Amino acid sequence: MDRVALRGLKARGHHGVFPREREEGQTFIVDLVLGLDTRPAAADDDLAKTVHYGVVAEEVVGVVQGEPVDLIETLAERIAQQCLKHAGVQEVEVVVHKPDAPITVPFDDVTITITRSRA
């Protein structure tokens, strides 16, 4: 399986369990690795035979900006399911970063990583 990766998609969302997170929002960063067979697209040099990563990026940002959820686990699942709606995508790895998580000690980042497939 081939891989198409999108790294560092940024969007503001209102996800979290605390009222401040829901009210003020914060930046979430998403990394994706889409698993698909790119041979048909490469053979014919045809965008229609692969995944349009620009469209995927816009959809993912839409999910992050969309309906708030409590958990980044839920957000990651919604992103994965959106990616799998593209016919050629057989598998997706989603990493959601929450660099401004409400943690009381110094930290660099909080992430959740999930992998989902059609099978």
> Which two tokens mark 81?
């399911």
Burial class (CB in 10 A: 0-12, 13-18, 19+), 55: exposed
Rounded Cα gap, residues 78 and 45, in angstroms: 31
Q: Quick one: pLDDT at residue 119?
A: 73
Rounded Cα gap, residues 84 and 87, in angstroms: 7
**Annotated catalytic residue within 10, 49, 85, 98:** 98
What are the chain's domains? 2-117 (3.30.1130.10)
Output the CA angle 78-86-52, nearest 5 degrees.
110
Q: Is the pTM of this model over 0.75?
A: yes
Whether 49 is a known active-site residue: answer no
pLDDT tens by residue, the chain, 119 residues: 999 999 999 999 999 999 999 999 999 999 999 999 999 999 999 999 999 999 999 999 999 999 999 999 999 999 999 999 999 999 999 999 999 999 999 999 999 999 999 97
> Which two tokens mark 24?
């003020």
